[in-house]
Structure 1
Amino acid sequence: MKILDWYILKRYLFTFLMMLLLFIPIAIMVHLAEKIGKIISNDVPFDEVALYLLNFTIYFANLLFPLFLFLSVIFFTSKLANNTEIVAFLSSGVSFGRFLRPYIIGATLVAIMALFLGMYLAPWASTGYNEFRYKYLSSSRDLQDTKNVFRRITDNDYIYVSSFDPKSKRGQNFTLEHLKDNKLEYKIFANSIQYIEEDSIYKLNGYYKRVYDSLGNVTVEEKRSMNVEFTFDVDDLTPVNYIAETKSYGELVDFIDKEKSRGAPNIGRYEVVKLKKWSLPASVFILTIIAVAVSSKKRRGGMGVNLAIGITVAMIYVFFDKIFGVLAAQSDFSPMVAVWFPNLVFGILALYLLQNAKR
């Protein structure tokens, strides 16, 4: 039986590796052909382009990791079925569950790889990939949420700006409220706020401050401009939209807790990224079982029919994953449901197909 395990396991890992080596260079060439005009017009140094393509390779592999695995399992299992090797295995007294064991071992190895990739390597690659993309290839207009920014910066302080420009580090219609024991102690208004990087201070133009004492009396202070030191960093006001992708798992958990305490409006987007670090390895097992169940029978039309079924299932999986991910990122839809619902649906499908394949 060990010979059977090694035979299937080697085919499992080798075909998956070949699938990656086949599709990733194609993806790089297509992507480079699409962006080469902007790269040349911006006079991007060669070493930056090379590093960008390396980051793109890791980013792309992490994005479509389960689908490459799914198609590779269908491909080599269909070849086994067409060569009647599976019939020979099962006819020798091997149960279908026992036949599935090397696939599960292979899925475990790939899932561990996917877990490491998502937790540590992909965040590093995502940083370089996105920084290059926004620096040279696309507009930074949608890089950050810059309208109606409301954040909690400490346990007692809340700030608001109607608009903020990350490039000039300038905001309009700034207010700061300081509370103590749920009572407003003072409130600062300014027509504009400007971050002075050399001195690490903020310049408030049209400064106006109201101070409230315990008796309800109000003291007013008004100045044309005022330099103030705040406890928050200017980048904390409007973090880039892809920031969650650039953090390792531990850093991401701390970042989400910090953003929640500040009342950030886009927590769902960050939660989706965090949960996908766990759902991706789980999907490796689900898609492996589906692939084996679909392709382990010899069919009329040969391998092409199995690949057609596999591509259809893969497209449906991607559709579910993307639709629910966008729902969670841009609405109050539960990130937990959004991330795990596709795996739940396809997990049930995997069990159903597995039972049919055993008959």
Structure 2
Amino acid sequence: MMLLLFVPIGITVDLAEKVGRIIENDAPFGEVAFYYLNFTVYFANLLFPLFLFLSVIWFTSKLANNTEIVAFLSSGVSFTRFLRPYIIGATIVASFAMFLGMYLAPIASQGFNEFKFKYLRKNKSVQQTRDVYQQINDNDYIYVSSFSPKTNSGQNFTYEHFEGNELKYKILADNIRFIDKDSAYQLTRYIKRSFDNGVETVEKENRIQMDLPFELEDLTPVEYAAETKPYGELLDFIASEKRKGSKNIGRYEVVKLKKWSLPTSIFILTIIAVAVSSVKRRGGMGVNLALGISIAMIYVFFDKVFGVMAGQSSLPAVVAVWFPNVLFGILAVYLLQNAKR
């Protein structure tokens, strides 16, 4: 019910903000409708624990205001027994949230991001185009200072081939361009330096066309690639990116770990909600809702700040993702003990 109430509001606010760009860029109605279908799944997945949190506060406060919880506990039933249906419900919701996050949300994320970059952010690149450094396999490395997906060309290209720890040859070019009809790369002001038993040979060409052992996608990795992959494919993708030396590993690890931390947060927030709202307060349900929303906003703040820190700094992804859950898990235990008393 909370999803049915709030998601349409979110769609209305988002449409009001973006309708000008949608009309300006002539987005077809079918694609707009499909975008908002993906929008619903994408954001419902992100906000699932918070909607459950507010729902639990709402109906538990109703029970408390009607003095039903006092009567329940006065009959000799323990608070743990009172909490049991909440945990069963949280388990059902967490199972659905895990399935949603691992399999359905990646599909929605693909459509959501494709529409956003096609019609709403046309001047922004969907791909990483600056300082691309990749390890292609165990022996080969590439680097390009900038790459344009529109022209399939890049500047300051370097290709290095190792055997063991020994550099066998190095290719440098001022410009690299992918020739689609030939499925080959054209290098301008090409230099190849080869090393054999300490002897260096240099080969130069003003322009040369050649096959190189990497795909065009290796020069233009998509920024949101990890979000669009089901869990099994995500694990393979992260392993591949680690071999390539991608600088976005922190961001990818955050996406992976959130698939487990989000269902866990459902249990933590459920316990906090029950502990906060099971006490009858003078201000009634409004006080419980205000307190609950404050806790929810603090949780979202920690979750977003630490998620960004993992993607932009050396902070380990496991710390960034799990710190809010650990912190609020401690808070849940404390509030639960007080509620029992």
Q: Work out whether 1:88 is the aligned partner of 2:74.
A: no
1:247-286 pair list within 5 angstroms: 247-286=229-268
Task: Choose the corresponding residue for 1:39, options 1, 5, 22.
Answer: 22
| Letter matched to residue 167 of structure 1 | K
- Partner of residue 217, structure 1: 199
**Is the 2:69–2:278 Cα contact (8 Å) retained in structure 1?**
yes
- Partner of residue 205, structure 1: 188
Task: Choose the corresponding residue for 2:227, options 238, 245, 260.
Answer: 245
C-alpha displacement of 1:143: 2.8
Separation in 2 of the partners of 1:296 and 1:281? 23
Task: Choose the corresponding residue for 1:49, options 20, 32, 39.
Answer: 32
Give unpaired runs (5+ residues) of structure 2.
none
C-alpha displacement of 1:166: 1.9
C-alpha displacement of 1:226: 1.3
Separation in 2 of the partners of 1:140 and 1:205? 28
Normalising by structure 2, what TM-score? Answer: 0.98
- Partner of residue 301, structure 1: 283
Task: Choose the corresponding residue for 1:105, options 65, 88, 91.
Answer: 88
Normalising by structure 1, what TM-score? Answer: 0.93
- Partner of residue 343, structure 1: 325
**Is the 2:117–2:125 Cα contact (8 Å) retained in structure 1?**
no
SS at match of 2:26: coil
Task: Choose the corresponding residue for 1:229, options 193, 198, 211.
Answer: 211
| Letter matched to residue 48 of structure 1 | E
- Partner of residue 25, structure 1: 8
SS at match of 2:333: helix
Separation in 2 of the partners of 1:311 and 1:44? 36
- Partner of residue 125, structure 1: 108
CA deviations 1:68-105 (Å, max 9, x no partner) are: 11111101100111111111211222110000000000
| Letter matched to residue 285 of structure 2 | M
Separation in 2 of the partners of 1:79 and 1:231? 65
Give unpaired runs (5+ residues) of structure 1.
1-17
SS at match of 2:240: helix
Separation in 1 of the partners of 2:142 and 2:269? 47
State the aligned residue count: 341
- Partner of residue 154, structure 2: 171
Separation in 2 of the partners of 1:345 and 1:186? 52
- Partner of residue 135, structure 1: 118
| Letter matched to residue 153 of structure 2 | R
Separation in 2 of the partners of 1:199 and 1:64? 48
CA deviations 1:210-245 (Å, max 9, x no partner) are: 11112x222221112111212221112231211111
CA deviations 1:248-298 (Å, max 9, x no partner) are: 111111111111111111100000000000000000000000000000011
Separation in 1 of the partners of 2:122 and 2:55? 37
